[in-house]
Amino acid sequence: MSHSSNLEALIRQMPKAELHLHIEGSLEPELMFAIAQRNQIPLRFPSVDAVREAYNFHNLQSFLDIYYEGAQVLLHERDFYDLTRAYLDKMASENVRHVEIFFDPQTHTDRGVPFETVIRGIHRALIDAQTAYGISFRLILCFLRHLSEEAAMQTLEQALPFKQWIDAVGLDSSELGHPPEKFKTVFDRARNEGLLTVAHAGEEGPPDYIWQALDLLKVSRIDHGVRCLEDPKLVERLRQERMPLTVCPLSNIKLCVFPEMGQHNLKILLEKGLCVTVNSDDPAYFGGYLTENYRATQQALNLSVAEVIQLAKNSFEASFMPLDIKQAYIRELDALLQDSLSKTS
Ligand code: ADE
Ligand code: ZN
């Protein structure tokens, strides 16, 4: 077997965690059509293929417009269940052992879908997949940053009766012009309620947005964060704190954050000693789930076995799981690395 097919097999088989996944972004066109039909919602596309052909993005906003449009087929608890279950079935087949998924309640409540309908469907699928496959999970509620902080606060109020099912709050949608500081009060409130915090920062936005996420929103992870390299002091801070970055390589290429995968800065981030993780963001829109993100990145950047394993170890280290479980996965990955090195030497 060639070196690269060995690495592909390793990537598929190694235990890994996904920490940056918008559940609405896992809506495949086939399921979008099936749900639209049963909910009798008209779609402007004549076919599944026509939907896929529309997935040509030139920046974050051009993607978000079509992502919010697709999500409009989701109405009932069953729809959110089917969406989440389809994602988890795929993750089981890729040996993903743990997921921390985002959901965007405002995308649904603003259309009249009750918060409760959304979270009940998602949560039931997470529980069922945990039973069926042993995949553990956390759930992260994201506020839409193009809307007001008052709207985010109302969403947090709606969420509090379900606090037992929610581990953290996050911040997503249109980054430029919507800095983290806009959401300081609602993040303070969420932390007072015992929730952890994360935020998208430094995807399209400047390093200053990453500083704000750290200092004002007191995040446990930065989602994306790839623009940190423009600020050496920030890189040093991220390295010293071992602040995780949930990087999404295929997303970054599709949204033109980098012109091509060979120019992605993931390997440089790793070499600077940052806690980089690989994630899929919105796999139905960006052309690949978690394994494909690892595979495409490994190939384009010529990552070594040790670097691939380091990324998987980072995914557990950066997760919100208990320390002893993290350590067990990290030991398993260290053993895989030793095994792999002994075979090639
Ligand atoms: N919502 C879904 N995917 C997103 C991304 N990559 N950035 C910001 N908001 C998002
Ligand atoms: Zn994202």
pLDDT at 3: 67
Averaged pLDDT in 10-residue chunks for the chain of 345 residues: 79 98 98 98 96 97 97 98 99 98 98 98 99 98 98 98 98 98 99 99 98 99 99 98 99 98 98 98 98 98 98 99 98 97 80
How many domains is the chain built from? 1
DSSP 256: T
* Domain, as residue range, for 289: 3-344
CA distances from 319 to 167, 214, 220 (A): 11, 17, 10
* Cβ pair 171, 145 in contact under 8 A: yes
pLDDT at 5: 77
Q: Which of 68, 141, 203 to mutate to test the pocket of ligand 1 (most atoms within 8 A of CB)?
A: 203
Give me the DSSP letters along 125-136: HHHHHHHHH--E
Q: How far is the CA of 90 from the centre of ligand 1 (A)?
A: 21
The helix or strand, by DSSP H or E, that contains position 199, with its residue range, turns out to be: strand 196-201
For ligand 1, residues with CB inside 6 Å are 22, 25, 60, 67, 172-173, 200, 203, 251, 281-282
pLDDT at 321: 98
In this prediction the pTM is 0.98
pLDDT at 2: 55
Q: Which of 143, 282, 293 to mutate to test the pocket of ligand 1 (most atoms within 8 A of CB)?
A: 282
Q: Which residues are catalytic?
A: 203
Phi, psi of 138 (to 5 degrees): -135, 155
pLDDT at 1: 47
Among 110, 193, 190, which Cα is nearest to 147's? 110
* Cβ pair 328, 9 in contact under 8 A: no
| Protein residue with least CA distance to atom 8, ligand 1 | 173
Q: How far is the CA of 63 from the centre of ligand 2 (A)?
A: 11
CB atoms within 10 A of CB 284: 26
In this structure, the strands spanning 96-103 and 136-144 are parallel
pLDDT at 317: 98
**Residue 18 bridge partners (DSSP):** 99
Among 35, 13, 20, 28, which Cα is nearest to 244's? 20
Q: What is the CATH number of the domain that holds 214?
A: 3.20.20.140
Distance CA 307, CA 69 (A): 38
